[in-house]
Chain A
């Protein structure tokens, strides 16, 4: 696991949390969207919070695909779930919202889950098991590291 891979996982975590938060903030400003008034969607896209949120979520998708190219799905999902904790911490310490003891317990559980999976190997599946017929498995072997 090198610095680049840590940065990619950190990027997945931060961009997902920041994108969701900005999208949520923007959608609260634009109001409800009805199936009968789809022009509301276009108006929502003009909201700067929504626009920046979409850009951040696109960055999340690209980085998530990058991570899945060298790590297991069952490694990437828990390892990047720390974004839920980030959102709760931002809500508590930046937005000064109340975070109940039950939610603090949820934060502790997620942190524990991230810690558990981060200590294990990134990739456990054998490349030849998922490579289609005719493809070169050599491009996959570089991901077999801890």
Chain B
């Protein structure tokens, strides 16, 4: 319901502003913002990627050289992907770092671009462009490991498919979950990454406690007769399999990111120094 209200308000804004010309969305301003934001973000990204490439290549090279088995896809992605996620979340958390102090925030907030354009550019850089850059970096790591294997090991390292459906799904999961950190980057004034993680932990904990209490009351009608491993009644099983799980999937894939991005939009629009 809240999401629907926000969408209505957003579309109303869009209509009003489109009547006033290009005050809301202008491709040239997007281009200028993109250039500006990339200039301020590139150094952080390059340092981060450099450190991660060095660390991953070192760890996997040791595995390639000292173990007598080839490098498997699961080992490669098992190490690379946590760095991909963590790096992306940290990077996203810093994207609005100009807003941390009023001495710098004024420059960003008075920059002649709409809130939508500012949010869109920041999101593009931390999601689509970050994924694209990460694919290039993973490819470079793969090439370096292949070189290491050729020089130091008899077991060759294959060229991993960075566009395998299972890997594409990981990028998609990042695209959805990253939106939470966009909101954290705007919402908090300092230590954005850790505060977002802490908030997520608290929210998940509250939901877990609330839903387990609700389950005890609804399914077992009291607090004492349910234990871990207990089977659900058949009627509830049907509900969870046919309604709850698909609904959660739809919420995760199609509602979560738009919801957080819309909240981020309003948060950025209402930001003062």
Partners in one complex: no
